[in-house]
C-alpha cells in the first residue's frame, strides 16, 4: 500500500506531466504535417516516433490517474505552456533550417520530459509508491533512447539542410565527425 501523505501532490505531478506531454504533442503534430510535405526520411521517421511515444504516454498517464481516481486538471502551467506554444508557432513560420530546428526543439522537449520523469520516479520511490515509480521508469526507458537517436540523426539533417541553404556539397565526413564527437561527450 502506498505511503502517500497527500494525494493532491501526486495529482499535481501527474497534471503537470500531462500538460507537458499534451503541449509537446500538439507541436509535434504540426512538425509531422510539415515533415510529410517537406522533410527527409529521417525527419519523418523520428517525428513519427516522437508523436507515437507522446500519444502512448498521454494514455498511460490518463489510465494511471483514472486507476487512482485522480483527475488531470487544467493547470496554470498548461495555460502558460499553450501561450508559449502559440508564440513559438509564430516564431517558426519563417525560419530557415526548419527540420533541424524542429529536431532541436524535440531534443530539448524530450530532455525536459526525461527530467520530469526522473523527478516522478524519485517522488514515487520516496513516498513508497512503487506503481508511480514504475510508470515513470517505463516512460523514461522509452524517452532516453529517442534522445540518443535524435542526437545521432541531427547531424545528417543539419548537413543536408546546410548543403541546400548554403549551396555547398553534402559532406558525410562532417556527419561522422560530429556524431562521433557527440558520442564521446556523452560517454563518462
- Residue 59 located in a structural domain: yes
Domain harbouring 33, CATH code: 1.20.1260
- pTM for this entry: 0.84
Alpha-helical regions (H) of the chain: 7-38, 41-67, 76-92, 98-126, 130-166, 172-186
- What is the four-CA torsion angle of 102, 108, 112, 117, rounded to 10 degrees? 80
In terms of residue numbers, what domain contains 12? 7-149
- Residue 46 located in a structural domain: yes
Among 17-26, 31-40, 146-155, which is the least confidently predicted range? 31-40
Task: Give the phi and the psi of residue 12 in degrees, each rounded to 5.
Answer: -65, -45
Domains held by the chain: number: 1
- Residue 171 located in a structural domain: no
pLDDT tens, residue by residue, 93-127: 555 788 898 899 899 999 999 999 999 999 999 99
Residue 67 has pLDDT above 50, yes or no: yes
Residue 126 neighbours by CB distance under 10 Å: 11
Alpha carbons 49 and 47: distance in angstroms, whole number: 5
Amino acid at each position: 500500500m502506498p505511503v502517500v501523505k497527500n494525494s493532491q501532490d501526486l495529482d499535481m505531478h501527474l497534471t503537470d506531466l500531462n500538460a507537458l506531454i499534451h503541449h509537446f504533442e500538439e507541436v509535434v503534430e504540426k512538425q509531422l504535417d510539415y515533415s510529410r510535405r517537406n522533410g527527409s526520411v529521417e525527419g519523418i521517421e523520428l517525428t513519427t516516433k516522437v508523436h507515437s511515444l507522446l500519444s502512448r504516454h498521454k494514455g498511460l498517464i490518463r489510465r494511471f490517474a483514472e486507476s487512482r481516481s485522480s483527475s488531470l486538471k487544467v493547470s496554470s502551467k498548461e495555460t502558460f505552456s499553450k501561450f508559449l506554444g502559440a508564440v513559438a508557432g509564430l516564431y517558426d513560420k519563417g525560419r530557415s533550417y526548419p527540420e533541424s530546428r524542429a529536431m532541436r526543439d524535440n531534443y530539448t522537449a524530450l530532455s525536459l520530459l526525461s527530467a520530469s520523469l526522473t523527478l516522478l520516479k524519485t517522488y514515487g520511490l520516496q513516498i513508497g509508491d512503487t506503481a508511480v515509480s514504475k510508470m515513470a521508469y517505463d516512460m523514461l526507458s522509452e524517452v532516453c533512447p529517442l534522445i540518443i537517436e535524435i542526437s545521432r540523426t541531427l547531424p545528417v539533417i543539419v548537413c543536408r539542410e546546410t548543403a541546400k541553404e548554403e549551396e555547398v556539397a553534402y559532406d558525410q565526413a562532417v556527419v561522422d565527425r560530429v556524431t562521433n564527437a557527440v558520442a564521446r561527450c556523452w560517454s563518462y
